[in-house]
Structure 1
């Protein structure tokens, strides 16, 4: 067994990027892990590590690069850390987690590895007890809740074909569909039509077909259109506003469902939000909370720009080994 390094590694891997943070911890004297008190000294980034979106070879390669970059940022040689927590989108099944653990063994990543639901660190980044509801809306969407008894439940997270309601992807897809319906004369006119054509540097809606269908794995490209939809909605376009209204309704429904399933309606619910849509569109986030309030669910909200902070909290408090 290698000597203790006092190093802790947290990795948050999603559909757009992989983020790795390196921190130090004096474990014998460390009893609680408060997110704001964790000091990181190495941070690394790489591309997507969602195995269902990019495949294992690319995902594991990006995991490795993020770790390498974190050690390079810390300006220390890469070594086996004492503890690590990996929160990876698309790795919820046991078969996927086993392959990730095998990779961690092969590269001698850590002595103690914890692999968790990709939404769980959001809760621990917001509060050290990990109680509340995490709501994610970025490229994809999902909600995860954990009550005071430690019971957890998920809602959403079904991916682009079956779900991702309220996500940047579905917001953008709804806008693209509104554009082609308007072009056909089947739907109302909308500023989205001209703005999306200008964005892609084209003059007709039919030119969207080769752009959008050439790459079968273009979720990120499509989701990146969401800020434009918000901009058009802000100018008063009713079609864009309806798209965003439906998106906020879908997200509120996820939270509402978890509050009921986990029996969390007796007091204000701690809501932790992350993902590009919730982080960069505060008015939209407030609309989700307003819709929850109209159903009797009061929330205290905390934005979590970097949910990877929660992976460090989990790693520091974990005794799980592989």
Structure 2
């Protein structure tokens, strides 16, 4: 039987990921480049990032010349028509399917129905039923919203570092940490370098990693920022569930890079959810969103969840795409934090 090729594309406020795989669901090529959200990144840079991601994926398809792509699944807040144009200039393409961020991410958790709390560079909530987004909340973009996102955490951290430097805020390791993070000697030099960056929102969101490191080292301010981020994400989730009368038992799926900051944000989210929805089933996504369409193809028609057998196979095929989650101690008053098969812990 002839091998067919497929493409999964996931883009956002920090990076664009292109994954080429075959009809046996095996990875063939991959490409990663920068942000593609036109609200925050100039179009010439978006086109460059798209071209780089495509060329990397096609170029890394070793042993496969003249690749013809049967179907493409693409999820991004940017111009998908531009990506399609650039891709068709480089190879033959069949179907081109546009998915919402919610649809892609929920399949990366091995499910087809549930409430998705996506905290990446930005933050949006989706209710997905049978693989189709029916409702969504948030996604207003910083500085107006996106509470609980990487950009929100980064903003809180930069403000705390500047207040520490100016002497009217509590001293925090985020102050010297911010200088090291951007490779500068002083806070003023750091901020001057920051404003010269083309993608300021992505740069702000990247500070989320520094917050996680400082929190792990015991910095009080960094820890409080992550507690607040978890509360914000939970507050939005509970409001969404109440307003739309969504099932109290969930499932509630977590996805996005902001969650990778450590167990503090996750614990804060779970504890806050327990106040109103103690029976909610909270499921951390097993894979990065770009694997969502692969998991979708691995699910038998009519299945609401990926089978254990299929999960184990995808885990073996895509170990580098497994999402690493912190361990949160179980308490009787907490919602159920479910593992799909088994998720990788920090």
Say whether the fold is shared (TM-score over 0.5).
Answer: yes
Could you tell me which runs of 5 or more consecutive residues in structure 2 were left unpaired when the two chains were aligned.
Answer: 300-346
Question: Which shows bigger deviation, 63-72 or 171-180?
Answer: 63-72
Residue 308, structure 1, aligned to residue 296, structure 2? no
Matching residue of 2:23: 25
Counting matched residue pairs gives 296
Matching residue of 1:13: 11
The structural deviation recorded for 1:247 is 0.9
Taking a change above 3 Å as real, the CA distance of residues 193 and 21 of structure 1, as seen in their structure-2 partners, is closer
Q: Is the 8 A contact 2:249 2:277 kept in 1?
A: no
Equivalent runs, 1:1-322 vs 2, <5 Å = 6-25=4-23, 38-75=25-62, 76-88=64-76, 90-91=77-78, 96-107=79-90, 110-128=93-111, 130-147=112-129, 150=132, 152-200=134-182, 204-275=186-257, 277-297=258-278, 298-313=280-295
Q: Is the 8 A contact 1:142 1:254 kept in 2?
A: no
How far apart, in 2, do the equivalents of 1:284 and 1:197 lie?
24
- The residue matched to 1:188 in structure 2 has which SS? coil
How far apart, in 2, do the equivalents of 1:247 and 1:14 lie?
20
How far apart, in 2, do the equivalents of 1:109 and 1:272 lie?
35
TM-score, scaled to structure 1: 0.78
Taking a change above 3 Å as real, the CA distance of residues 226 and 149 of structure 1, as seen in their structure-2 partners, is closer
Q: Is the 8 A contact 1:11 1:18 kept in 2?
A: yes
**Structure 1: 4+ residue segments shifted above 6 A:** none
How far apart, in 2, do the equivalents of 1:216 and 1:58 lie?
9
How far apart, in 2, do the equivalents of 1:148 and 1:264 lie?
15
Q: Is the 8 A contact 1:71 1:78 kept in 2?
A: no
Question: Larger % of helix: which?
Answer: 1
How far apart, in 2, do the equivalents of 1:142 and 1:110 lie?
30
Specify which structure has the bigger relative contact order, considering alpha-carbon pairs within 8 angstroms and separated by 6 or more residues: 1
Question: Which shows bigger deviation, 41-50 or 78-87?
Answer: 41-50
Q: Is the 8 A contact 2:109 2:287 kept in 1?
A: no
Taking a change above 3 Å as real, the CA distance of residues 149 and 308 of structure 1, as seen in their structure-2 partners, is closer
Q: Is the 8 A contact 2:106 2:285 kept in 1?
A: no
| Cα displacement string for residues 205-239 of structure 1 (whole angstroms, at most 9, x for unaligned residues) | 33333122223522233322223222333344332
How far apart, in 2, do the equivalents of 1:52 and 1:71 lie?
28
How far apart, in 1, do the equivalents of 2:248 and 2:182 lie?
49
How far apart, in 1, do the equivalents of 2:216 and 2:273 lie?
22
- The residue matched to 1:255 in structure 2 has which SS? helix
